[in-house]
Structure 1
Amino acid sequence: MKTYKIAVIPGDGIGGEVMTEGIKVLDCYASLKGNIKFAYETFPWGCEYYLKTGKMMDDDGLEKLKKFDAILLGAVGFPNVPDHISLHGLLINIRQSFNQYINLRPVKLLPGAPCPLKGKGPQDIDFVVVRENVEGEYSGVGGIRFPDKPEEIALQTSVFTRKNTEKVMEYAFQLAEERNGKRKLTNVTKSNALNYSMVFWDKIFNETALKHQDIQTETIHVDAITMYFIQKPEAYDVLVASNLFGDIITDLGAALQGGLGFAASGNLNPEGEYPSMFEPVHGSAPVLAGKGVANPIAMVWTVKMMLDFLLKVEADEIITAVTQLLQEGESLTPDLGGTATTQEVGDAICGKLAKLIKA
């Protein structure tokens, strides 16, 4: 039996509540399968830790995390800690230090989930965004000159390297080949205005396309893609985008699939040189913390993504269980029109998993 070592960072707000349900589903799945199990170690890092220590994580936190097969993160952020501190001190620090250069965001509308688009259904919304995750606009290169003076200057420099951009493009093309989809890859750019970084990005995309001529390609500006997501989401299969653009369009994608309560993601180091990190992207939602009403589906979907990555086999029973839950409508949290608690949703998903896997 294979045991996987998982680092658990519940984080802030509702992070701990949804994490409990994610681990519950993960352990349920492992128990039912019988050939895997998980060993966890929990780290108390996050904004509360920062307020006590002045640090978002231990000084040797990265060394501690290296020994794990994967990292599960609940949520990061709290109103009395500036977002740029909480984000760069923990999440971006781990992403960049562990070269998690792929951020993978599925955008899939499950049967029974609410969709804000008139006339669109699950058959229309099923694509995935490959977001560059360690460079670009979030590289952290820049500075402030002459602070608080009339001549104050803020500089924020985007960084794009050939080595990393080639790897991102190659990953996206391979995903388009492997997915049971349209065999289509859409390049999200803004090269008409960003005449260095995005022209370079487009060039690497076109170079990589020459090695994958079986894949249909197109290039669309990021402002246009936000319109097309609303008008024709069925046109997309795999999209590749820079760090900032990928961040923005995937939140719109989350709205298409029912809201942030369904938004899962993986921060991947595909080569396995470092552990990859998996997180729901709904944020810490402090106003919901401690009320037991947070929707755990994004966290459950996140552990499914972790299973897919570790086992190299898709744990589709988890999505089937969530779909059954949505279609029956009996164990849903208030954001989905129900009265169930976070814990009750986790229990219901485990109950459905038991029937699916034993069957």
Structure 2
Amino acid sequence: MTVISVIAGDGIGREVVPEAIETLDALGLGLRYDVLDHVNAQSYLRTGAALSDSDLDRVRASDATLLGAVGDPRVTSPDYARGVLLRLRFELDLYVNHRAVTLLHDRLSPLRDEKRRGIDCVIVRENTEGLYAGIGGALRGSSELETALDVEVNTHAGVSRVIAYAFSIARTGVCLVDKSNAVPHGGRLWQRCWAEQCAQWPGIHATHQYVDTAAMRLVADPTAFDVIVANNSHGDILSDLAAQLGGGLGTAASANLNARTGFGLYEPVHGSAPDIAGTGSANPVGAVLSAALMIEHLGHPQEALAVRSAVARSIADRRCTPDLGGTLTTRQAGAAIRAALD
């Protein structure tokens, strides 16, 4: 039996994850859930523990993890979010952040040109290196002489494997996005790994753009991209931009993957949104589409397609939350998606 570890987390994560689980249950896949309901900010404030060793063991024992959101305004230290998200990411070596973006309905696009609205691409972000590796420090803190250093980490192994993943999922082409003209040392490494991988995938169209040009091109014509691969920080920014072109962060799904072991952590990217938590207005689409990504990677592509089609139909019929042009609550929007399932 396939076991899914579930961390609903904080804020609206606790509201949208149940909608994702009910949608999975409606598919009749026979999934079993191991719910880590105690992994949240409330527990952290009480105990000081973010994710224990036994929690990590439970995650490791599962086939995949569905995560809602982590974050609470009462927690001012970054140790909580890092202790959950980054511990999972680094200890499970989830080196790929996979962000698939498809325009869910014409009315959701901020672009005027109808011919260029149809974004349908994947942003592949390197997930364990770069500027977010946490290497650096500060001197003479809280003074006029304060000096802060954040070191960008790039390894041949880390860069090669994420580029290889990007090629492995491409339908037509892969675009490397970097800033190698201004960041020469890491840039040279990315360019060398890129050339090596291009030689191994001769049937895939390979292009390269600097990150500033790629950002402009995404807005001017997002249909030009199939797969984009970038480092941690560039991929973080471009994936949020792409999400807005596809309907907004409330619809954005993501997968954190180890493509070699097959394990993945799946989460909507909207965060815990404490300003709307408890109001019943949270959009469940990002969580539901993250669940669709999960079952696709677990070997159920037709069921994943059925979920995506149901989401698109419910949005087209305005059976959705107000941020997408509807009037439904979180619970009602989840029910509408399930009603639209084939």
SS at match of 1:66: helix
* 2:196 is aligned with 1:207: yes
Match for 1:160 among 154, 172, 176?
Answer: 154
SS at match of 1:210: helix
Deviates more, 1:19-28 or 1:74-83: 74-83
- 1:31-70 aligned within 5 A: 31=28, 36-70=30-64
Q: Take 2:300 and 2:60, find their aligned partners in 1: how far apart are those partners?
A: 21
Percent identity between matched residues is 39
* 2:175 is aligned with 1:186: yes
Change beyond 3 A, Cα 1:247–1:83: farther
Deviates more, 1:144-153 or 1:275-284: 144-153
* 2:321 is aligned with 1:333: yes
8 Å CA contact 2:282–2:330 kept in 1: the answer is: yes
8 Å CA contact 2:289–2:308 kept in 1: the answer is: yes
8 Å CA contact 2:10–2:41 kept in 1: the answer is: yes
| Paired residue type of 2:332 | E
Displacement of 1:37 in angstroms is 2.6
4+ residue runs over 6 A deviation? none
Q: Take 1:5 and 1:305, find their aligned partners in 2: how far apart are those partners?
A: 16
Change beyond 3 A, Cα 1:290–1:133: same
Displacement of 1:132 in angstroms is 0.5
Displacement of 1:112 in angstroms is 5.2
Partner of 1:253: 242
Q: Take 1:322 and 1:122, find their aligned partners in 2: how far apart are those partners?
A: 22
Partner of 1:171: 165
Displacement of 1:83 in angstroms is 6.5
Displacement of 1:313 in angstroms is 2.7
| Paired residue type of 1:345 | A
Q: Residues 77-110 of structure 1, C-alpha deviation per residue, up to 9 Å, x if partnerless?
A: 1223237333312111111110001110011102
Q: Take 1:132 and 1:199, find their aligned partners in 2: how far apart are those partners?
A: 16
Displacement of 1:127 in angstroms is 0.6
What number of residue pairs does the alignment pair up? Answer: 341
- 1:230-241 aligned within 5 A: 230-241=219-230
Change beyond 3 A, Cα 1:46–1:144: farther
Deviates more, 1:334-343 or 1:317-326: 334-343
Partner of 2:257: 268
SS at match of 1:239: strand
Q: Take 1:172 and 1:141, find their aligned partners in 2: how far apart are those partners?
A: 26
8 Å CA contact 1:7–1:43 kept in 2: the answer is: no
Displacement of 1:48 in angstroms is 2.2
Q: TM-score, normalised by structure 2?
A: 0.95
Q: What stretches of structure 1 of length at least 5 have no aligned partner?
A: none
Q: TM-score, normalised by structure 1?
A: 0.91
Deviates more, 1:103-112 or 1:46-55: 46-55
* 2:3 is aligned with 1:5: yes
Match for 1:348 among 330, 336, 339?
Answer: 336
